[in-house]
Amino acid sequence: MLVSILSCGKGSGGGDNGGGGSTLPAAAITDVSQERSSSGNTYSFTVSLTKVATSEVSVNYATTAGTAAENTDYTPVSGTLKIAANSSSGTITVQVKGDSTRKDNQFFNVMLSTPVNCTLSDDKGVGEIVNVNGLYLAVDNKGYDAPGSYPGYNLAWSDEFSGKAVNTDNWSFESGNNNGWGNAELENYTDRTQNAFVSNGNLIIEARKESFGGFQYTSARMITKDKRKFTYGRVDIRAKTPTTQGIWPALWMLGNNISQVSWPACGEIDIMEQLGQESSRNYGTLHWGPNTAGHVSKGGNVVLAAGYDKEFHVYSVVWKTDTMQFLVDNVLYYEVPFSLIAGTNPFTLDQFFIFNIAVGGNWPGAPNNTTVFPQRMFVDYIRVYQ
């Protein structure tokens, strides 16, 4: 707060503020921080006196722009606030205009001046417009798009994320840190719209740097377990992925029997994994084995063109009875024949989908002073053909 002590002399209507034994009350204005709504908000700033006024007190006020713009983000006001004798506070209201866009927070100021029968101990109130939780985010949709059909396949299931919220018939949220999810991850997964929401035809998963539940980062981890599960076919997921140190986006699958046989016996299919600091490399991997001591993985990677993170790409697997193929933008870059699997092959049973952004972990490492937050993964659709 900017502190300004302005005294009222006898000529400005002040009482005895000197040796007469009487002191004037001091006025201070509060700050206000509110979530912005789509229909607009009223911000109420309280001006409080340090003691009850013995005569009417007045102060002039006027809004000034900060990062919020007059008439675009709020309606400017000015005038004189009068606090009646035997009262100790008054209110100044400012109308903030409606907007549901997710963006940086903004602020404006309410400045006090020209006190009468009081002094000013705090003459600036800051109005913070909280935009970071808005549920609309425009997305540049350019990039590769998959065909709507393939010879010999029928569409078995899809989520086009065209509604107003995550479809809970398809998805559940996993929450907490769960001891780092086996990877020493640093985030706290939540089911809040701050971390996962649907806007403009896309699912958006957002990783944030914020203190929540004893952890310093939040994100979302969504699963289709026991809701949408499949064996064999082609999976296409159109997504735009984040890039920065310590960020680990993934689109993947686990065996629906994981609760019975545990990992890796359930099998794992990593359709897309990327490391934020490796700004153009995509990984596709299979994991299996009877137990963690017998864990086996086979995978490959492909380097994408510079600037790949500015566009959507389609990450795919073609899951056959004898092999798993990994593709980006319909180009095959790696294949695992199931003849490599000794013992029980878990890829003959149903798997469910997982979408998440991890923060930190053994593989990407922790965020550092180059890491930028928030980071977002956009998913246009997921389509399963059989």
Q: Which residues are part of the catalytic machinery?
A: 268, 273
Q: Quick one: tokens of 162? A: 């065209």
Nearest to 206 by CA among 164, 165, 242: 242
DSSP per-residue letters across 173-224: EE-B-GGGGGTTB-EEE--STTTEEEETTEEEEEEEEEEETTEEEEE-EEE-
Name the nearest CA neighbour of 377 among 284, 281, 240.
240
Give residue 125's identity as a one-letter amino acid code. G
Contact status, residue 355 vs residue 195, Cβ threshold 8 Å: no
Structural element, H or E, at residue 259: helix 258-261
C-alpha dihedral sign at 259, 262, 267, 272:
positive
- Give pairs for 330-335: CB < 8 Å, separation 24+: 330/144, 330/146, 331/302, 333/284, 333/300, 333/301, 333/302, 334/284, 334/299, 334/300, 334/301, 334/302
